[in-house]
Amino acid sequence: MIVLRVALLPLLLALACVTAFPRQAHAAPLDYDITAGHFYSQANGEAGAGGSGFSVTDKDGIAFWSEFQRLGGVAVLGYPISHRFIWKGTVVQAFQKVVMQWQPATASVSFVNIFDELRDAGKDEWLKVVCSTPKQVWLENESSLGWSEVARQRQAFLDVNPKIKAAYFAVADPVMMFGLPASRVEDMGNAFVVRLQRAVIQQWKVNTPWAKAGEVTIANGGDIGKQSGILPADALQPSGPDGAVAVPQAIAPASGARTVVIDPGHGDKEIGASYRFADGVVLLEKDINLKIAQRVATLLRGAGYRVVLTRDADVAVNRTGADLNGDGKVTADDDLQARIDIANKEKANVLVSVHNNGHPSPDQHGTEVYYNDKRPFASKNLRLAQILQRSLVSSLASAGYNTLDRGIRTDASIKQGESFYILGPQGKRIARSSEMPAALGESLFVSNPTDAAQLRSDTMIQAIARGYAVGISQFLSTDS
């Protein structure tokens, strides 16, 4: 972790739990007709890039495409975020706002009560922490009440908040679209929130990037189901219209003698960012950085690169405790100088420092890469950062996690003009600067509950490592 930006207000609801719309910045069509249906690439995790996505069809007598159109299409249901799959014995397909379930008896679809499924999967605490969603409540003697009475009493939960009630009844068939209210309207800190069986409605108490104070938003049930991890990963993997899943990008083989220095950020007493889960497990950035870096090294060595790690254990890199930058004292700067000295000694072709981010506000999340634009090889730094950012975002998406693409930034942009030690030019603070193109990656936010959950997953750690390895190899294969 390098970045600590001051938030104007901590927002307890992650952006991923708020209605979002894909970016559209491609000349090629993002969706088009196919046999017996339509193909959409908008929700493929790369804003439509690469041409992969999900088909909605009427194949095999299951009329998802016809029903999708009848029920309002993208405007009402959102884009598809999965292929068809079997869920508890029935054929289903996930969209941003709903999960459609085929009903053979009526040759029509219903919507899965995704928030009931999340409850049954033990995700209530996750919903509370990540999406500021209340837990389900029960009516007195509910099992003995008729359906119409249950509906009347549960819909009465909304009477305390006219705006939320109006949003619920604004659709033609609220029970079909949203199900019944599963909780009362609760004050969740930054918003008044009600949990429905198939969505969440929020009235914001504060201004946010996506809504003004007083406005009402509806969180997408399908997206939250995907984010929670209860939907099968293979069904969430985008493919071409023929159903072929895109093969992960290959690591370009080394051409000639190429040395890569990978720097796992922090170590020993410098732990970086941290996060404590509800089960008591504590995630330390220094450990994640090392695990990722070791896997990057394995992948690159397998492709013929010579790889040196600045540390291969939970230790300080300046192991002797020497004053390496000559300022008369031994500080964290000397440990950073030791990392640069290793890269220079090994005559590395590229230096990549592996970090994960942290922030006082748990809302901050996503992926970003930093570079220095004041070096003689600044253009190469820029290109390295661009390639790494694109590769990390793509690799995470391929593994089923649509990280927020925060883009690339110069290191001086967040430190009042001061460069990161590992990237910057020689100066008053930096005794010896790196002599090769370099970048610093912030894979995900340890301090964000959703990002942190991904960093606990071996699949996502491998995806991040592969993103680094692919990006580094692409940079070196085109570097002259």
Q: How far apart are CA 350 and CA 434, in angstroms?
A: 10
> Is the predicted pLDDT of residue 109 greater than 90, yes or no?
yes
478 Cα distance to chain centroid: 29
Q: What is the mean pLDDT of residues 275-286?
A: 93
Residue type at position 25: A
Q: Is the pLDDT of residue 4 over 60?
A: no
Q: How confident is the model at residue 480 (pLDDT cuts 50, 70, 90)?
A: low
CB atoms within 10 A of CB 23: 12
Q: What tens digit of pLDDT does each residue of 161-203 get?
A: 999 999 999 999 999 999 999 999 999 998 999 999 999 999 9
pLDDT of residue 23: 40
Q: What is the pLDDT of residues 211-265, one digit of tens each?
A: 899 999 999 999 999 888 888 877 888 888 876 555 456 788 888 889 999 999 9
Q: What is the mean pLDDT of residues 396-404?
A: 86
Q: In the chain, what is the straight-line distance between the N-terminal and C-terminal CA atoms, in Å?
A: 31
Is 453 inside a domain boundary?
Answer: yes
Closest CA to 53 of 4, 105, 96: 96
Domain of residue 362, CATH code:
3.40.630.40
**pLDDT of residue 363 exceeding 80:** yes
Secondary structure of 448-477 in the HEC alphabet? CHHHHHHHCCHHHHHHHHHHHHHHHHHHHH
Query: In which domain, by residue range, is 376 found?
Result: 259-477
Q: Is the pLDDT of residue 10 over 50?
A: no
Is residue 5 situated within a structural domain?
Answer: no
**Average pLDDT estimate for 422-443:** 94
In contact, 397 and 349? CB cutoff 8 Å:
no
Q: Quick one: 285 and 362 in the same domain?
A: yes
Given a contact cutoff of 8 angstroms between Cβ atoms, the answer to whether 55 and 34 are in contact is yes
C-alpha 440, offset from chain centre: 18
pLDDT in tens, 296-321: 999 999 999 999 999 999 999 999 99
pLDDT of residue 475: 94
Q: Chain-centre distance of CA 398, in angstroms?
A: 11
Same domain, 74 and 141: yes
Helix, strand, or coil (residue 394): helix
CA dihedral sign, ordered 168, 169, 175, 177: negative
Looking at the structure, tell me whether residues 110 and 173 fall in a common domain.
yes
Residue 228 shares a structural domain with residue 349: no
Q: Count the domains in the chain.
A: 2
Burial 297-327 (b: 16+ CB within 10 A, else e): bebbeebebebbbbbeeeebbbeeeeebbee
Using the 8-state DSSP alphabet, how is residue 139 labeled?
-
Regarding predicted confidence, which is higher, 24 or 1? Answer: 1
172 found inside a domain: yes
44 vs 120, residue with greater confidence: 120
| Domain identity same for 194 and 288 | no
| 18-69 tens-digit pLDDT | 544 444 344 468 899 999 999 999 888 767 776 789 999 999 899 999 999 9
Give the model's confidence band at 17: pLDDT under 50 very low, under 70 low, under 90 confident, else very high: low
User: At which of 201, 236, 271 does a domain end?
Assistant: 236
Identify which of 73, 99, 67, 105 has the alpha carbon closest to the alpha carbon of residue 86: 99
Domain termination residue (choose one: 202, 236, 270) = 236
463, 45 Cβ separation under 8 angstroms: no
Cα dist. 149→144, 183, 198, 241 in Å? 10, 16, 20, 46
For the chain, percent of residues with pLDDT exceeding 70 = 91
Reply yes or no on whether the pLDDT at 6 is more than 50.
no
Q: At what angle are helices 458-477 and 378-398 packed, to 10 degrees?
A: 140
pTM for this prediction: 0.55
**Same domain for 268 and 150:** no
CB-CB contact of 24 with 47 (8 Å): yes
CA atoms within 13 A on the CB side of 331: 9
- CB of 78 closer than 8 Å to CB of 69: no
- The mean predicted confidence, pLDDT, of the chain is 89
**221 and 334 belong to one structural domain:** no
Cα–Cα distance between 42 and 16 in angstroms, integer?
16
Residues 134 and 229 in one domain: yes
49 domain residue, yes or no: yes
Residue 6 lies in a domain: no
In terms of domains, do 142 and 45 share one? yes
If one counts every other C-beta atom within 10 angstroms of the C-beta of residue 330, the result is 15
| Domain match, 385 and 304 both | yes
Confidence at residue 336, expressed as pLDDT on a 0 to 100 scale: 95
**pLDDT given for residue 22 in this prediction:** 40
pLDDT for 79: 96
Q: Is 341 a member of any domain?
A: yes
46 falls within a domain: yes
One domain, residues 145 and 228: yes
Whether residues 231 and 263 fall in one domain: no
> Looking at the domain assignment, is residue 37 inside a domain?
yes
451, 443 contact by CB (below 8 A): no
